[in-house]
Amino acid sequence: MDTTTMNSPLVFGAMLLGTRIDQEQSFALLDRFVERGGQWVDTANCYTFWLSDSGAGGASEEMLGRWLSARPGLRDQIRLSTKVGAEPLWPGSWPQQREGLSRRAILQGLETSLQRMGAAEVDMFWLHQEDRSTPMAETVEALGELTSSGQVRRVGASNHPAWRVEQARGLARAGGTMPIDALQLLATYLHVRPGLRTPGVEHAFGVLNAEQRDLARTNGLEIWAYSPLMSGSYDNPDKPVHEAFEHIGNTRRLQALDVVAGQTGATRSQVVLAWLLAQGIRPVVGVSTTAQLDLAMEAGRLDLDAEQVRLLDETG
């Protein structure tokens, strides 16, 4: 396997591995990702409970474990990212009853994730969904145990409001442990209509907003974008844009996408990925075919000029 290609800034979203994507195709996608210079692979301990026969997560992590076992030495060349906090306590109990972010849930969650993936540590460990029933100090102390032991190299927060992230960061700094340094949220080129539920987002603070961006920019936090391509809606006529994105501002933004796509010879989706990267946002890309993966990886090397970025930024 040729792994000498320049590192890609994209993240491989492994959510559907082991459920909708079988082992043969999972291995093919992961192999191709590494061949194209990919490093970061993102999953969660709850993926994908809503598609599994058991109603529990773990299939994605288990698939990654089988892939790594079949590729000796590859673990040192990739970075593993997983999450804790959203696994249902029993089938059908989510979202009312889920594991949460207590010390016990965090420590057990990581232990199980490492066992599934056959790994000694993870490079990024995300708080998947906020848990206000657990004191933030307890959550932060548990994360501090894991970063101090070396089992977790970095800590991130997904689907959390900005003030809760900064509260956690302050507690970590006060306790001398590693603070959260990354956010993972839904982010794409189109803007969500206020008051409408966004498809695929079951969290009150799941869509990237101005306050979260300001927190990240001011404190040097990374932003990872999940669902950046809206499940193919930018280019697939069989997947129309969801009503949450239907408004005149987005009509104009789609027109701007078409202009830049025409100038670059890229697809709308590729322009969206390139634009996110130009904003300093790292896209998490979930694909089901190697052809889709290749298009995404090519977008990671698409350089938009200043005028194209300005047009995309200011339209709508």
pLDDT cut 90: percent of the chain above it: 91
Q: What is the pLDDT of residues 66-97, one digit of tens each?
A: 999 999 999 999 999 999 999 999 999 988 89
Superfamily of domain 11-314: NADP-dependent oxidoreductase domain (3.20.20.100)
Residue type, 107: L
Report yes or no: 57 and 90 within 8 Å, Cβ to Cβ. Answer: no
> 142 to each of 112, 133, 270, how far by Cα in Å?
15, 15, 39
pLDDT exceeds cutoff 50 at 119: yes
Of 145, 177, 180, nearest in space to 161 by CA:
180
pLDDT average, residue stretch 132-150? 98
In the chain, domain spans: 11-314
Q: Can you tell me which residue has the tokens 């994360």?
A: 143
CA 274 to chain centre: 16
Residue 2 confidence (pLDDT): 43
Predicted pLDDT of residue 222:
98
pLDDT of 3 reads 41
Across the chain, mean pLDDT equals 95
Give one DSSP letter per residue of 209-252, joined into a string. Answer: -HHHHHHHHHHT-EEEEESTTGGGTTT-TTSPPPGGG-SHHHHH
Mean pLDDT for the stretch of residues 103-118: 98
pLDDT in tens, 224-242: 999 999 999 999 999 989 8
CA dihedral 83→88→92→95, nearest 10 degrees, is: -80
Please report which confidence band the pLDDT of residue 147 belongs to, taking 50, 70 and 90 as the band edges. very high
Burial annotation 190-227 (CB, 10 A radius, 16+ → b, else e): bebbeeeebeebebebbbbeeebbebbeeeebebbbbb
Pairing relationship of beta strands 40-42 and 222-226 according to DSSP bridges: unpaired
What is the pLDDT, as a whole number, of residue 195?
A: 77
Arithmetic mean of pLDDT, 109-116: 98
Q: What is the pLDDT of residue 298?
A: 97
**Residue 4 predicted with pLDDT over 70:** no
Cis peptide before 48 (omega within 30 of 0): yes
pLDDT at site 201: 76
Q: How confident is the model at residue 5 (pLDDT cuts 50, 70, 90)?
A: low
- pLDDT value of position 135: 98
**Dist CA 120 CA 286 (whole Å):** 25
Q: What is the pTM of this model?
A: 0.96
pLDDT at 272 over 90: yes
- pLDDT digit string (tens) for 288-303? 999 999 999 999 999 9
User: How many percent of the chain have pLDDT more than 70?
Assistant: 98
- DSSP labels for the chain? ----SPPPS-EEE-TTBTTTB-HHHHHHHHHHHHHTT--EEE--TTTTTTTSSSS---HHHHHHHHHHHTSTTGGGGSEEEEEES--BSSTT-TTTSB-TT-HHHHHHHHHHHHHHHT-S-BSEEEE-S--TTS-HHHHHHHHHHHHHHTSBS-EEEES--HHHHHHHHHHHHHHTSPPP-EEEEE--SSPPPTTSPPTT--STT-B--HHHHHHHHHHT-EEEEESTTGGGTTT-TTSPPPGGG-SHHHHHHHHHHHHHHHHHT--HHHHHHHHHHHTTEEEEE--SSHHHHHHHHHHTT----HHHHHHHHH--
Q: What is the mean pLDDT of residues 187-216?
A: 89
Residue 311 — pLDDT band, cuts 50, 70, 90?
very high
Backbone angles phi, psi at 129, to 5 degrees: -160, 135
